[in-house]
């Protein structure tokens, strides 16, 4: 069974995954969790790396996940392929794929599966790709051997805390209201927040805690064409304005419309010497 699951994941370019009993997971989406409780037996959790080796040339700071196409659109066809293979190999069992809106906390499931450690900045830090990964999960009523392990934490060196420009990393994770990534994604910002964005240089998100983490120092990058094809090498207000609505919608920042990221670019440009 394990070898068959490994082959299915591997044939779809996934080399970091694990299996966790559903009953050992904690809820994320309460409605779905209740729906599947007592029905689903196993959570097949996996990670997809998104950081490429490509280097931007525009001088703006931007979270690595935002310089590539929206991962949600990658997962839709991926789940179709995975679920089809799983159902073919294990007929009679159900398989349901999720990303972000999973019934269970995917980071917690990944930690139980031994896929990495819990960072002080609240992120999962994997052995191979560091914290630059997206998580997906497949719920199934197929029983699987329980190979869960004790949850491990990072080395707690404090570098992420020192690097955070918003001082948002607390004892129990990140304060979302203080985090720069939360601030520069707001539709409306206060004068103080606008100044913070301008000085930070970040047009979208923030990777400072990840970049400072020593466990990310040797993280491997991906050459997945989905992420390299749309990589934003030269971001500018002109480039954004010239994108068709269809192409703009392919990027993660599109959910806030053009106005927000265009505002951030303008604030940063005004602050530059």
**What positions carry a catalytic annotation?**
100
Is there a contact between 160 and 121 (Cβ–Cβ < 8 Å)?
yes
Contacts of 2 (CB under 8 A, 6+ apart): 19, 144, 145
What is the C-alpha separation between 269 and 201, in angstroms, rounded?
Answer: 9
Dmax over Cα atoms in the chain, in whole Å? Answer: 65
Three-class SS of residue 52?
Answer: coil
Rounded to whole angstroms, the Cα distance separating 127 from 215 reads 8
115 alpha-carbon distance from chain centroid: 15
The string of DSSP codes covering 193-243 is HHHHHHHH-EEE---HHHHH-GGGTTPPP---HHHHHT--SS--HHHHHHS
**Cα–Cα distance, 17 to 5 (Å, whole number):** 10
Is the separation of the CB atoms in 263 and 184 below 8 Å? no
d(CA 130, CA 138): 22
């Amino acid at each position: 069974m394990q070898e068959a699951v490994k082959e299915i994941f591997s044939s779809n370019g996934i080399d970091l995954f694990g299996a966790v009993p559903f009953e050992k997971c904690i809820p994320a989406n309460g409605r779905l969790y209740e729906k599947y409780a007592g029905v689903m037996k196993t959570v097949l959790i996996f990670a997809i790396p998104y950081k490429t080796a490509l280097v931007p040339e525009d001088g703006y700071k931007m979270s690595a996940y935002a310089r590539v196409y929206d991962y949600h659109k990658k997962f839709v066809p991926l789940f179709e392929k995975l679920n089809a293979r799983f159902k073919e190999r294990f007929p009679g069992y159900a398989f349901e794929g999720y990303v972000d809106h999973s019934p269970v906390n995917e980071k917690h499931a990944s930690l139980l599966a031994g896929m990495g450690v819990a960072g002080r900045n609240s992120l999962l830090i994997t052995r191979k790709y560091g914290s630059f990964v997206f998580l997906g999960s497949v719920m199934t009523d197929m029983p699987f051997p329980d190979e869960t392990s004790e949850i491990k934490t990072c080395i707690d060196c404090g570098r992420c805390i020192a690097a955070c420009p918003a001082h948002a990393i607390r004892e129990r994770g990140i304060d979302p209201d203080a985090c720069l990534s939360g601030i520069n994604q707001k539709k409306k910002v206060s004068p103080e927040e606008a100044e913070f964005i301008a000085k930070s240089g970040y047009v979208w998100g923030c990777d400072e805690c990840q970049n400072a983490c020593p466990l990310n120092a040797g993280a491997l990058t991906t050459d997945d064409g989905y992420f390299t094809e749309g990589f934003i090498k030269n971001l500018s207000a002109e480039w954004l304005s010239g994108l068709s609505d269809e192409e703009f919608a392919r990027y993660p920042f599109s959910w806030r419309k053009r106005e927000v990221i265009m505002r951030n670019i303008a604030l940063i440009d005004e602050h530059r010497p």
